[in-house]
Amino acid sequence: MLFTKKATFRGGVPVPHWKNTAEAETLQMGVPSKVYIPMLQHIGAPCTPVVNKGDTVKVGQVIGTSDKLISAPIHSSVSGRVTNVAPMVVFNGQSVMTVEIETDGLQEVHEDVKPPVFNNKEEFLEQLKKSGLVGLGGAGFPTHVKLAPPPGKEVDTLIINGSECEPYITSDYREIIENSWNILLGVYTLVDLFGFKNVWIGIEDNKPEAIKVLSNIAAKDDKYSDVVKVVKLKSRYPQGAEKMLIYACTGRKVPPGKLPADVGVIVMNINSVSFIREYIRTGMPLVKKRVTVDGPAVKNPANVEVPIGTPIADVFEFCGGFRSEPVKVLMGGPMMGVAQYSLQYPVLKHTNALIALDEKSAKIPPEGPCIRCGRCVDVCPMNLMPLHINRHSLHGDVEALEKYHANDCMECGCCSYVCPAKRHLVQSIRLAKAQLRQAATAAAAKGGK
Protein backbone atom coordinates (compact mmCIF):
# COMPACT_ATOMS: atom_id res chain seq x y z
CA MET A 1 0.00 0.00 0.00
CA LEU A 2 1.25 3.52 -0.79
CA PHE A 3 0.54 6.56 1.34
CA THR A 4 0.45 9.46 -1.11
CA LYS A 5 0.23 12.41 1.29
CA LYS A 6 3.75 13.86 1.41
CA ALA A 7 5.06 13.62 4.92
CA THR A 8 7.75 15.93 6.29
CA PHE A 9 9.11 17.70 9.40
CA ARG A 10 9.87 21.21 10.60
CA GLY A 11 13.11 22.89 9.45
CA GLY A 12 15.74 21.31 7.25
CA VAL A 13 17.01 22.41 3.86
CA PRO A 14 16.60 21.38 0.24
CA VAL A 15 20.02 20.15 -0.92
CA PRO A 16 21.20 19.34 -4.46
CA HIS A 17 21.22 15.58 -4.90
CA TRP A 18 23.87 14.64 -7.49
CA LYS A 19 22.69 11.01 -7.41
CA ASN A 20 25.03 10.14 -10.29
CA THR A 21 25.17 6.44 -9.47
CA ALA A 22 21.42 5.83 -9.09
CA GLU A 23 20.83 4.07 -12.39
CA ALA A 24 23.91 1.84 -12.54
CA GLU A 25 23.96 -1.70 -11.17
CA THR A 26 26.13 -2.41 -8.16
CA LEU A 27 29.60 -3.64 -9.10
CA GLN A 28 31.29 -6.48 -7.24
CA MET A 29 34.82 -5.71 -6.20
CA GLY A 30 37.27 -8.59 -6.09
CA VAL A 31 39.16 -9.55 -2.96
CA PRO A 32 41.96 -7.11 -2.06
CA SER A 33 45.43 -8.41 -1.17
CA LYS A 34 44.93 -7.41 2.48
CA VAL A 35 42.02 -6.45 4.70
CA TYR A 36 42.16 -4.59 8.03
CA ILE A 37 39.25 -5.49 10.27
CA PRO A 38 38.89 -3.25 13.36
CA MET A 39 37.34 -4.69 16.52
CA LEU A 40 35.03 -1.70 16.90
CA GLN A 41 32.57 -1.15 14.05
CA HIS A 42 29.47 -0.36 16.08
CA ILE A 43 28.13 1.74 18.91
CA GLY A 44 29.02 -0.02 22.17
CA ALA A 45 31.84 -2.13 23.57
CA PRO A 46 34.72 -3.14 21.29
CA CYS A 47 35.31 -6.82 20.55
CA THR A 48 38.34 -8.78 21.69
CA PRO A 49 40.20 -10.57 18.89
CA VAL A 50 39.87 -14.37 19.07
CA VAL A 51 42.50 -15.06 16.39
CA ASN A 52 46.28 -14.68 16.54
CA LYS A 53 49.02 -13.77 14.10
CA GLY A 54 49.70 -16.79 11.89
CA ASP A 55 46.18 -18.29 12.13
CA THR A 56 44.36 -19.18 8.94
CA VAL A 57 40.79 -17.87 8.65
CA LYS A 58 37.82 -18.39 6.37
CA VAL A 59 34.94 -16.20 5.20
CA GLY A 60 32.30 -15.79 7.91
CA GLN A 61 34.57 -16.98 10.75
CA VAL A 62 34.22 -15.10 14.04
CA ILE A 63 37.43 -13.13 14.67
CA GLY A 64 36.22 -10.83 17.46
CA THR A 65 33.65 -11.15 20.25
CA SER A 66 32.45 -9.34 23.35
CA ASP A 67 30.34 -10.41 26.32
CA LYS A 68 29.00 -6.89 26.82
CA LEU A 69 25.30 -6.20 26.21
CA ILE A 70 25.82 -3.52 23.56
CA SER A 71 28.25 -4.97 21.05
CA ALA A 72 28.24 -7.18 17.94
CA PRO A 73 30.65 -9.93 16.89
CA ILE A 74 33.02 -9.36 14.01
CA HIS A 75 33.75 -11.87 11.25
CA SER A 76 36.40 -12.36 8.64
CA SER A 77 35.33 -11.13 5.22
CA VAL A 78 37.99 -13.17 3.43
CA SER A 79 39.91 -16.40 3.59
CA GLY A 80 43.64 -16.15 4.24
CA ARG A 81 46.24 -15.78 6.98
CA VAL A 82 46.28 -13.36 9.92
CA THR A 83 49.45 -11.28 9.53
CA ASN A 84 49.00 -8.94 12.50
CA VAL A 85 46.74 -8.14 15.43
CA ALA A 86 47.55 -4.63 16.62
CA PRO A 87 46.02 -1.21 17.26
CA MET A 88 45.24 0.87 14.17
CA VAL A 89 43.79 4.35 13.77
CA VAL A 90 40.37 4.20 12.08
CA PHE A 91 37.97 6.57 10.32
CA ASN A 92 37.17 8.75 13.37
CA GLY A 93 40.75 9.08 14.64
CA GLN A 94 40.28 6.42 17.34
CA SER A 95 42.96 3.76 17.84
CA VAL A 96 41.27 0.34 17.68
CA MET A 97 42.65 -3.22 17.89
CA THR A 98 42.62 -4.49 14.30
CA VAL A 99 43.05 -7.87 12.67
CA GLU A 100 45.13 -7.71 9.47
CA ILE A 101 44.56 -10.59 7.04
CA GLU A 102 46.53 -11.46 3.93
CA THR A 103 44.00 -12.94 1.55
CA ASP A 104 44.49 -16.20 -0.38
CA GLY A 105 41.92 -15.37 -3.06
CA LEU A 106 40.04 -18.65 -2.48
CA GLN A 107 37.21 -17.17 -0.41
CA GLU A 108 36.63 -20.46 1.38
CA VAL A 109 33.54 -20.26 3.58
CA HIS A 110 33.81 -21.25 7.25
CA GLU A 111 31.99 -24.45 8.26
CA ASP A 112 29.95 -22.61 10.93
CA VAL A 113 28.15 -20.60 8.24
CA LYS A 114 24.69 -22.22 8.12
CA PRO A 115 21.16 -20.80 7.89
CA PRO A 116 20.00 -19.93 11.42
CA VAL A 117 17.31 -22.01 13.10
CA PHE A 118 14.78 -20.24 15.34
CA ASN A 119 11.24 -20.83 16.53
CA ASN A 120 10.43 -17.63 18.34
CA LYS A 121 11.49 -14.02 18.87
CA GLU A 122 14.06 -14.83 21.56
CA GLU A 123 15.78 -17.50 19.46
CA PHE A 124 15.73 -15.16 16.45
CA LEU A 125 17.47 -12.41 18.44
CA GLU A 126 20.14 -14.90 19.59
CA GLN A 127 20.79 -15.88 15.99
CA LEU A 128 20.70 -12.28 14.78
CA LYS A 129 23.37 -11.36 17.31
CA LYS A 130 25.61 -14.04 15.78
CA SER A 131 25.24 -12.37 12.36
CA GLY A 132 27.08 -9.25 13.57
CA LEU A 133 24.38 -6.99 12.10
CA VAL A 134 24.53 -3.32 13.10
CA GLY A 135 22.57 -0.37 11.66
CA LEU A 136 23.80 -0.15 8.08
CA GLY A 137 22.63 3.41 7.45
CA GLY A 138 25.63 4.91 9.24
CA ALA A 139 24.79 4.75 12.95
CA GLY A 140 26.10 1.22 13.60
CA PHE A 141 23.87 0.37 16.58
CA PRO A 142 23.69 -3.43 17.14
CA THR A 143 20.37 -4.59 15.63
CA HIS A 144 19.68 -7.41 18.11
CA VAL A 145 19.80 -4.82 20.92
CA LYS A 146 17.61 -2.36 19.03
CA LEU A 147 14.96 -5.04 18.49
CA ALA A 148 14.86 -5.81 22.23
CA PRO A 149 13.84 -2.56 23.95
CA PRO A 150 13.93 -2.56 27.77
CA PRO A 151 10.86 -3.93 29.60
CA GLY A 152 8.06 -1.38 29.92
CA LYS A 153 8.62 0.18 26.49
CA GLU A 154 5.73 -0.88 24.27
CA VAL A 155 6.76 -0.73 20.63
CA ASP A 156 3.98 -1.00 18.06
CA THR A 157 5.59 0.61 15.01
CA LEU A 158 8.55 -0.25 12.80
CA ILE A 159 9.89 2.41 10.45
CA ILE A 160 12.14 1.37 7.59
CA ASN A 161 14.40 4.18 6.53
CA GLY A 162 14.82 4.39 2.76
CA SER A 163 14.93 8.17 2.52
CA GLU A 164 18.67 8.53 1.76
CA CYS A 165 18.61 12.33 1.92
CA GLU A 166 22.37 13.07 1.66
CA PRO A 167 23.73 14.20 -1.71
CA TYR A 168 25.52 11.55 -3.83
CA ILE A 169 24.55 8.46 -1.77
CA THR A 170 22.49 5.81 -3.60
CA SER A 171 23.40 2.67 -1.70
CA ASP A 172 19.90 2.21 -0.19
CA TYR A 173 18.26 3.09 -3.50
CA ARG A 174 20.19 0.36 -5.30
CA GLU A 175 19.15 -2.14 -2.62
CA ILE A 176 15.51 -1.27 -3.30
CA ILE A 177 15.91 -1.65 -7.05
CA GLU A 178 18.09 -4.78 -6.95
CA ASN A 179 16.69 -6.65 -3.93
CA SER A 180 13.16 -5.33 -3.38
CA TRP A 181 11.70 -8.73 -2.47
CA ASN A 182 14.41 -9.31 0.14
CA ILE A 183 13.39 -6.06 1.83
CA LEU A 184 9.70 -6.98 2.01
CA LEU A 185 10.40 -10.57 3.10
CA GLY A 186 12.70 -9.23 5.82
CA VAL A 187 9.91 -6.88 6.95
CA TYR A 188 7.33 -9.71 6.97
CA THR A 189 9.64 -11.85 9.15
CA LEU A 190 9.88 -9.00 11.66
CA VAL A 191 6.11 -8.46 11.63
CA ASP A 192 5.49 -12.17 12.30
CA LEU A 193 8.03 -12.34 15.12
CA PHE A 194 7.45 -9.00 16.84
CA GLY A 195 3.80 -8.32 16.04
CA PHE A 196 4.28 -4.73 14.82
CA LYS A 197 0.90 -3.11 14.17
CA ASN A 198 2.31 -0.61 11.64
CA VAL A 199 5.31 -0.70 9.37
CA TRP A 200 6.14 2.46 7.47
CA ILE A 201 8.73 2.30 4.70
CA GLY A 202 9.77 5.94 4.22
CA ILE A 203 11.20 6.98 0.86
CA GLU A 204 11.77 10.53 -0.43
CA ASP A 205 9.66 11.64 -3.40
CA ASN A 206 12.75 12.09 -5.58
CA LYS A 207 12.95 8.29 -5.90
CA PRO A 208 9.66 7.46 -7.70
CA GLU A 209 10.90 4.15 -9.07
CA ALA A 210 11.80 2.91 -5.58
CA ILE A 211 8.39 3.97 -4.25
CA LYS A 212 6.65 2.20 -7.15
CA VAL A 213 8.60 -1.06 -6.83
CA LEU A 214 8.09 -1.43 -3.09
CA SER A 215 4.46 -0.33 -2.98
CA ASN A 216 3.59 -2.76 -5.79
CA ILE A 217 5.09 -5.65 -3.85
CA ALA A 218 3.60 -4.48 -0.53
CA ALA A 219 0.11 -4.43 -2.09
CA LYS A 220 0.43 -8.03 -3.32
CA ASP A 221 0.28 -9.84 0.00
CA ASP A 222 -3.14 -9.70 1.69
CA LYS A 223 -1.70 -10.88 4.99
CA TYR A 224 0.55 -7.81 5.34
CA SER A 225 -0.91 -5.10 3.10
CA ASP A 226 -2.85 -3.44 5.94
CA VAL A 227 0.24 -3.32 8.13
CA VAL A 228 3.05 -2.48 5.73
CA LYS A 229 2.80 0.90 4.01
CA VAL A 230 5.21 2.76 1.77
CA VAL A 231 5.13 6.44 2.63
CA LYS A 232 6.20 9.15 0.21
CA LEU A 233 8.35 11.66 2.09
CA LYS A 234 9.04 15.19 0.96
CA SER A 235 12.59 15.41 -0.32
CA ARG A 236 14.24 17.57 2.30
CA TYR A 237 17.48 17.14 4.26
CA PRO A 238 17.78 15.62 6.96
CA GLN A 239 14.65 13.56 6.29
CA GLY A 240 16.56 10.36 7.09
CA ALA A 241 17.44 11.44 10.64
CA GLU A 242 15.61 9.19 13.09
CA LYS A 243 13.58 11.85 14.90
CA MET A 244 12.56 13.59 11.66
CA LEU A 245 11.53 10.32 10.06
CA ILE A 246 9.46 9.26 13.07
CA TYR A 247 7.64 12.59 13.07
CA ALA A 248 7.06 12.53 9.30
CA CYS A 249 5.66 8.97 9.33
CA THR A 250 3.71 8.91 12.61
CA GLY A 251 3.40 12.47 13.94
CA ARG A 252 5.09 11.28 17.17
CA LYS A 253 7.79 13.51 18.68
CA VAL A 254 10.81 11.98 20.41
CA PRO A 255 11.63 14.30 23.35
CA PRO A 256 15.26 15.44 23.85
CA GLY A 257 17.34 12.74 25.54
CA LYS A 258 14.76 10.03 24.74
CA LEU A 259 14.87 7.14 22.29
CA PRO A 260 12.45 6.09 19.50
CA ALA A 261 11.30 3.20 21.73
CA ASP A 262 10.04 5.82 24.22
CA VAL A 263 7.40 6.76 21.63
CA GLY A 264 6.72 3.16 20.61
CA VAL A 265 8.91 3.08 17.50
CA ILE A 266 11.93 1.19 16.19
CA VAL A 267 13.73 2.57 13.13
CA MET A 268 15.80 0.35 10.86
CA ASN A 269 17.73 1.04 7.68
CA ILE A 270 16.40 -0.56 4.49
CA ASN A 271 19.68 -2.43 3.90
CA SER A 272 19.48 -3.88 7.42
CA VAL A 273 16.08 -5.56 6.84
CA SER A 274 17.24 -6.83 3.49
CA PHE A 275 20.34 -8.30 5.16
CA ILE A 276 18.12 -10.09 7.70
CA ARG A 277 16.32 -11.90 4.91
CA GLU A 278 19.60 -12.90 3.25
CA TYR A 279 21.05 -14.06 6.57
CA ILE A 280 18.02 -16.26 7.23
CA ARG A 281 18.47 -17.77 3.76
CA THR A 282 22.24 -18.34 3.81
CA GLY A 283 23.58 -17.89 7.34
CA MET A 284 26.38 -15.67 6.01
CA PRO A 285 27.15 -13.00 8.62
CA LEU A 286 27.83 -9.36 7.80
CA VAL A 287 31.08 -9.50 5.81
CA LYS A 288 30.47 -7.19 2.84
CA LYS A 289 29.05 -3.76 2.25
CA ARG A 290 27.67 -1.73 -0.65
CA VAL A 291 29.43 1.64 -0.78
CA THR A 292 28.61 4.61 -3.03
CA VAL A 293 31.87 5.95 -4.44
CA ASP A 294 31.42 9.42 -5.87
CA GLY A 295 32.43 13.07 -5.75
CA PRO A 296 33.99 15.47 -8.26
CA ALA A 297 37.45 13.92 -7.85
CA VAL A 298 36.35 10.34 -8.66
CA LYS A 299 36.93 9.05 -12.19
CA ASN A 300 34.14 6.45 -12.45
CA PRO A 301 31.48 6.91 -9.74
CA ALA A 302 29.74 3.65 -8.84
CA ASN A 303 28.11 1.58 -6.16
CA VAL A 304 30.55 -1.14 -5.21
CA GLU A 305 30.08 -4.15 -2.98
CA VAL A 306 33.32 -4.70 -1.08
CA PRO A 307 34.61 -7.07 1.61
CA ILE A 308 34.55 -5.29 4.98
CA GLY A 309 38.08 -4.25 5.90
CA THR A 310 39.08 -3.30 2.34
CA PRO A 311 41.34 -0.21 2.36
CA ILE A 312 39.61 2.90 0.98
CA ALA A 313 42.49 3.34 -1.52
CA ASP A 314 41.66 -0.04 -3.13
CA VAL A 315 38.00 0.93 -3.53
CA PHE A 316 38.90 4.20 -5.28
CA GLU A 317 41.36 2.34 -7.49
CA PHE A 318 38.60 -0.08 -8.47
CA CYS A 319 36.58 2.99 -9.57
CA GLY A 320 39.35 4.09 -11.92
CA GLY A 321 41.22 6.24 -9.41
CA PHE A 322 40.98 10.03 -9.30
CA ARG A 323 40.31 12.44 -12.15
CA SER A 324 41.96 15.21 -10.11
CA GLU A 325 43.86 15.36 -6.82
CA PRO A 326 41.37 14.68 -4.00
CA VAL A 327 41.61 17.50 -1.46
CA LYS A 328 39.18 15.88 0.97
CA VAL A 329 37.88 12.32 1.27
CA LEU A 330 34.74 11.73 3.31
CA MET A 331 33.36 8.53 4.79
CA GLY A 332 29.64 9.27 4.46
CA GLY A 333 27.92 12.10 2.61
CA PRO A 334 29.01 15.73 2.28
CA MET A 335 26.59 16.93 5.00
CA MET A 336 27.47 14.53 7.83
CA GLY A 337 30.44 12.52 6.56
CA VAL A 338 33.73 12.26 8.44
CA ALA A 339 36.94 13.49 6.74
CA GLN A 340 39.53 10.72 6.37
CA TYR A 341 43.18 11.38 7.05
CA SER A 342 44.44 8.23 5.36
CA LEU A 343 43.32 6.20 2.36
CA GLN A 344 44.58 3.14 4.20
CA TYR A 345 41.60 3.29 6.57
CA PRO A 346 39.30 0.34 5.93
CA VAL A 347 35.64 0.15 4.88
CA LEU A 348 33.54 -0.72 7.96
CA LYS A 349 30.11 -2.28 8.51
CA HIS A 350 28.39 1.11 8.56
CA THR A 351 30.33 2.76 5.71
CA ASN A 352 27.71 3.73 3.14
CA ALA A 353 29.72 6.17 0.99
CA LEU A 354 33.20 7.34 0.09
CA ILE A 355 33.13 10.83 -1.38
CA ALA A 356 36.26 12.45 -2.83
CA LEU A 357 36.14 16.24 -3.20
CA ASP A 358 38.40 18.29 -5.47
CA GLU A 359 39.86 21.68 -4.63
CA LYS A 360 36.79 23.64 -5.75
CA SER A 361 34.21 21.50 -3.95
CA ALA A 362 36.24 21.20 -0.74
CA LYS A 363 36.94 24.92 -0.39
CA ILE A 364 35.83 26.31 2.99
CA PRO A 365 34.97 30.01 2.69
CA PRO A 366 36.34 32.35 5.38
CA GLU A 367 34.03 33.16 8.31
CA GLY A 368 32.37 36.57 8.52
CA PRO A 369 30.67 38.15 11.54
CA CYS A 370 27.15 36.95 12.40
CA ILE A 371 24.54 39.33 10.97
CA ARG A 372 21.79 37.89 13.21
CA CYS A 373 19.59 37.02 10.25
CA GLY A 374 18.10 34.02 12.09
CA ARG A 375 18.34 31.62 9.13
CA CYS A 376 20.23 29.04 11.19
CA VAL A 377 17.38 29.05 13.72
CA ASP A 378 14.73 28.68 10.99
CA VAL A 379 16.31 25.57 9.49
CA CYS A 380 17.35 23.76 12.67
CA PRO A 381 15.20 20.61 12.85
CA MET A 382 15.97 20.32 16.58
CA ASN A 383 14.64 23.83 17.34
CA LEU A 384 18.03 25.04 18.57
CA MET A 385 19.63 28.48 18.31
CA PRO A 386 22.96 27.73 16.59
CA LEU A 387 24.09 31.38 16.56
CA HIS A 388 24.01 31.49 20.38
CA ILE A 389 25.68 28.11 20.83
CA ASN A 390 28.39 29.30 18.43
CA ARG A 391 28.99 32.50 20.44
CA HIS A 392 29.02 30.80 23.84
CA SER A 393 31.28 27.93 22.77
CA LEU A 394 33.84 30.46 21.53
CA HIS A 395 33.76 32.03 25.02
CA GLY A 396 33.70 28.64 26.80
CA ASP A 397 30.52 29.61 28.68
CA VAL A 398 29.38 26.14 29.78
CA GLU A 399 26.33 27.36 31.68
CA ALA A 400 24.99 29.11 28.58
CA LEU A 401 25.74 26.05 26.43
CA GLU A 402 23.56 23.99 28.73
CA LYS A 403 20.83 26.63 28.62
CA TYR A 404 20.85 26.49 24.79
CA HIS A 405 20.80 22.63 24.79
CA ALA A 406 23.98 22.23 22.74
CA ASN A 407 23.94 18.49 23.43
CA ASP A 408 20.66 18.08 21.52
CA CYS A 409 22.38 19.03 18.25
CA MET A 410 22.57 16.06 15.85
CA GLU A 411 25.27 17.77 13.74
CA CYS A 412 23.15 17.67 10.58
CA GLY A 413 24.90 20.75 9.20
CA CYS A 414 21.74 22.60 8.04
CA CYS A 415 22.71 25.73 10.01
CA SER A 416 26.20 25.95 8.48
CA TYR A 417 24.73 25.22 5.05
CA VAL A 418 22.43 28.28 5.06
CA CYS A 419 24.56 30.74 7.04
CA PRO A 420 25.30 33.74 4.79
CA ALA A 421 28.27 34.68 7.01
CA LYS A 422 29.69 31.16 6.56
CA ARG A 423 30.06 30.74 10.32
CA HIS A 424 31.60 27.38 11.23
CA LEU A 425 28.57 26.51 13.29
CA VAL A 426 28.80 22.72 13.38
CA GLN A 427 32.47 22.76 14.34
CA SER A 428 31.72 25.17 17.19
CA ILE A 429 28.81 22.99 18.37
CA ARG A 430 31.12 19.96 18.44
CA LEU A 431 33.48 22.08 20.53
CA ALA A 432 30.54 23.03 22.77
CA LYS A 433 29.74 19.36 23.37
CA ALA A 434 33.37 18.66 24.27
CA GLN A 435 33.28 21.61 26.71
CA LEU A 436 30.12 20.21 28.31
CA ARG A 437 31.70 16.75 28.62
CA GLN A 438 34.81 18.23 30.19
CA ALA A 439 32.74 20.24 32.68
CA ALA A 440 30.69 17.14 33.59
CA THR A 441 33.86 15.09 34.15
CA ALA A 442 35.38 17.84 36.31
CA ALA A 443 32.14 18.11 38.35
CA ALA A 444 32.02 14.32 38.86
CA ALA A 445 35.66 14.25 39.98
CA LYS A 446 35.00 17.10 42.41
CA GLY A 447 31.89 15.35 43.76
CA GLY A 448 33.85 12.12 44.21
CA LYS A 449 36.48 13.76 46.45
Residues that bind ligand SF4 (CB under 6 A): 370-376, 379-380, 382, 384, 386-387, 409-415, 419-421, 423, 425-426, 429
Considering beta carbons, is residue 104 or 378 the nearer one to ligand SF4?
Answer: 378
Nearest-approach distance from CB 440 to ligand SF4, in angstroms: 20
Considering beta carbons, is residue 231 or 412 the nearer one to ligand SF4?
Answer: 412
Considering beta carbons, is residue 22 or 419 the nearer one to ligand SF4?
Answer: 419
Considering beta carbons, is residue 107 or 427 the nearer one to ligand SF4?
Answer: 427
Nearest-approach distance from CB 198 to ligand SF4, in angstroms: 27
Nearest-approach distance from CB 96 to ligand SF4, in angstroms: 26
Does a cis peptide bond (omega within 30 degrees of 0) precede residue 238?
yes
Give 60's DSSP letter: T
Nearest-approach distance from CB 334 to ligand SF4, in angstroms: 14
Considering beta carbons, is residue 65 or 407 the nearer one to ligand SF4?
Answer: 407
Please spell the DSSP secondary structure of 164-198, one letter per residue.
--SSS--HHHHHHHHSHHHHHHHHHHHHHHH--SE
Closest CA to 283 of 63, 59, 69: 59
- Strand pairing category for 95-103 and 34-38: antiparallel
* Residues forming a β-bridge with 229: 200
Closest CA to 309 of 56, 34, 35, 79: 35
Nearest-approach distance from CB 131 to ligand SF4, in angstroms: 32
Considering beta carbons, is residue 45 or 421 the nearer one to ligand SF4?
Answer: 421
Per-residue burial over 181-218, b if 16 or more Cβ lie within 10 Å, else e, is ebbbbbbbbbbebbebebbbbbbbbbbeebbebbbebb
Give 300's DSSP letter: S
Nearest-approach distance from CB 9 to ligand SF4, in angstroms: 12
Measured CA to CA, the distance from residue 41 to residue 386 in angstroms comes to: 31
Measured CA to CA, the distance from residue 127 to residue 144 in angstroms comes to: 9
